[in-house]
Structure 1
Amino acid sequence: LLAIGLGWRWFESRRKAQVTKVLETTTGQVAYEKVTILRDRLTEEGLTKVLASLPLYASIEKKIEQSGLAWTPMGLLTATLVSAVIGLFIGTVLPILFTAWITAPALAIGFATLPYLWLMYSRSRRLAAFEEQFPEALDFLSRSMRAGHAFSVSLEMLADESIPPLSLEFRRIFNEQNLGSSLDSALKNMAARVPLVDVRFFVSAVLLQKETGGNLSEILLKLAYVIRERFRLKGQVRAASAHGRVTGVVLTALPLVLTLALLAIAPGYLQGMAKDPDGKYLIAGSILGQIVGYCVIRRIVNIKV
């Protein structure tokens, strides 16, 4: 009953958030719910109000915003609890290797991390898409200002001509200015929402040019060139580290493939280890070692550029 109730609450919050996101995408305007976020915070009650007072709530809310998912912090919490209940149920009904009192909590913890892992994956994917679109956006702004348009007008044109996620972020800058916010504040808010080095360079260049003067069009053109060169270097690094990534995948998948092959060819070959108490711990240790080894290899080959 708890899982059903929490699941229904999460479904309703997700459906409402999806409608809001569709309205923002189709109309190009910030939805009413986001404009009235301060009033909503003041009128929140119950568990949501308690969670909103915690520092972790703001961090989760920021990550959800950066991911572009139609979620809310309360919806993420609900999905986490539902996933934990599902894992607990599976571990209780189908204990694997160990008894239910060991398997059930382990599966509950593992399942509970799935919504957060999906959130972080969606966040990284959206930031990567924004980063890929950003050089073209800088070229667009540079050409627009060379044609005689003001910077604010160029921002609106960029929001109209580009696609999400870049269009949504620049549309938000334009809307914040229309609501009375200064350009400095709107750009700094964008830098906080999009934690990329290139965005910080862009914001710093615009604010510095505003204070000291200079040819902003030329500055943006050179910044776009630098970003493209960094992408080229990043591609070379990925090509050089491709062997290490493939090695990590092969070394991780090989034991699993061999185990499945043994189960298909000789089903009774591994039964002795699975039934023996010490054998169960050896199997669990092997699985944990594979996971740790894969994470270490990924950390080694993931070179920052």
Structure 2
Amino acid sequence: MLYAAFCLTITLSLYGLYVLREERSSRLKRRLTLAHIGGVTEEKEQAPAGEGRAEASLLGRLLLPKWRELRRSFSRRLQEPKEASIELKLLQAGRPFNMTPVDYRLLQLVLLVVLPGAAGLYGYVLQLSIAGSVLMGFAGLVLALVLPGYYLRLKAKSRCKFALRELPDVLDLLTVSLEAGLGFDAALSKLIAKKDGVLAGEFRRCLEEIRLGRTRRESLAGVRDRLPLDELRVLISSILQAEKLGIGMVTVLRVQSQEVRERRKQRAEEEAMKAPIKMLFPLVLFIFPSLFIVLLGPAVIQFIETFSK
């Protein structure tokens, strides 16, 4: 019963943090939407009465300034190269939970404190020896060090997988738009309007950066950095080279579309060739022993009965 209560407490605490962050994000999006349509005053009138009281509560007045001061002081101590590296990793992972580099570093520090303590407490609950509790705490420390980076790598790999799946259709839509007489920026706008997904989101950001004054080369290089895919890297390099040398963009995109589809076909054939090798291990470990028991079991039983007489 104690173990179940401990696991339930940890689960509910993590779920509460997730719900709190999602509620804050949805509230911010709702206010930005109302401000965009000119309804800021209306939002203030329609805000629940309990929200103002909750924010003006004693706990909020005491803890919120301390939290902001902690974030500011931690942000000042965070070195710029380290912050840029964390920012790039977060962008490659799709910025999960809208985390900033400061939030990510604070999360790492919290995990370094919470996970070893929770693991040591769990070892104490299991009535392990002191060495066992210390070993559990060390395992929690290793998990706290590995878990954030592993999560970001997993999210980045998932985004790259989705982007690679979307790439041929995106190239086809860009090619058709350019053949219809649109410029490259207008073709990107058409792509953003017609499609959703990882690549569409990255090209939306690229187009916004171009409108804010960055050059097309810098904006496309940012897309290449945020999505570390070989196919996308070759595509963006070809687009930039075609723009520099004055080559027709339609021809470049058509050639890249054919190459991407050919590579996808080769990857499918490679996975098909790997399938028999992957099936061999469960076949040997699970199917063959059961088959031998069914086939040879009666003969072994009869053999034993014969010799026992």
- Distance in structure 1 (CA, Å) of the matches to 2:247 and 2:262: 24
Match of 2:255 in 1: 222
C-alpha contact 1:91 1:105 (8 A) present in aligned 2: no
Q: 1:24 to 1:86 in 2, by over 3 A?
A: farther
Alignment RMSD (CA, Å): 3.4
Q: 1:87 to 1:196 in 2, by over 3 A?
A: same
> 1:153-186, CA deviations, whole angstroms, 9 ceiling, x for partnerless residues?
0011111111121111111111111111111111
Deviation at 1:250, TM superposition (A): 8.3
Deviation at 1:47, TM superposition (A): 1.4
Q: 1:189 to 1:21 in 2, by over 3 A?
A: farther
Match of 2:87 in 1: 61
Q: Which amino acid aligns with 1:129?
A: F
Structure (1 or 2) with the greater helix fraction? 2
Equivalent runs, 1:286-305 vs 2, <5 Å: none
Match of 2:76 in 1: 49
Answer with 1 or 2: which has the greater Rg: 2
Unaligned runs of 5+ in 2: 1-9, 34-70, 287-309
Match of 1:234 in 2: 267
Q: 1:246 to 1:112 in 2, by over 3 A?
A: farther
Equivalent runs, 1:136-151 vs 2, <5 Å: 136-151=169-184
1:76 aligns to 2:104 (yes or no): yes
> 1:262-281, CA deviations, whole angstroms, 9 ceiling, x for partnerless residues?
xxxxxxxxxxxxxxxxxxxx
Match of 1:289 in 2: none
Unaligned runs of 5+ in 1: 26-43, 255-305
TM superposition score normalised by structure 2: 0.63
Equivalent runs, 1:4-19 vs 2, <5 Å: 16=24
1:89 aligns to 2:121 (yes or no): yes
Match of 1:164 in 2: 197
- Distance in structure 1 (CA, Å) of the matches to 2:120 and 2:277: 36
- Distance in structure 2 (CA, Å) of the matches to 1:164 and 1:204: 22
> 1:276-302, CA deviations, whole angstroms, 9 ceiling, x for partnerless residues?
xxxxxxxxxxxxxxxxxxxxxxxxxxx
- Distance in structure 2 (CA, Å) of the matches to 1:216 and 1:208: 10
> How many residues end up aligned between the 2 structures?
230
Deviation at 1:10, TM superposition (A): 8.4
- Distance in structure 2 (CA, Å) of the matches to 1:96 and 1:249: 36
- Distance in structure 2 (CA, Å) of the matches to 1:64 and 1:250: 41
Q: 1:157 to 1:187 in 2, by over 3 A?
A: same
1:207 aligns to 2:234 (yes or no): no
C-alpha contact 1:83 1:108 (8 A) present in aligned 2: yes
Q: Which amino acid aligns with 2:100?
A: T
SS in 2 for 1:45: helix
Q: Which amino acid aligns with 1:61?
A: E
SS in 2 for 1:148: coil
C-alpha contact 1:145 1:217 (8 A) present in aligned 2: yes
Deviation at 1:117, TM superposition (A): 2.0
Match of 1:275 in 2: none
C-alpha contact 2:224 2:233 (8 A) present in aligned 1: yes
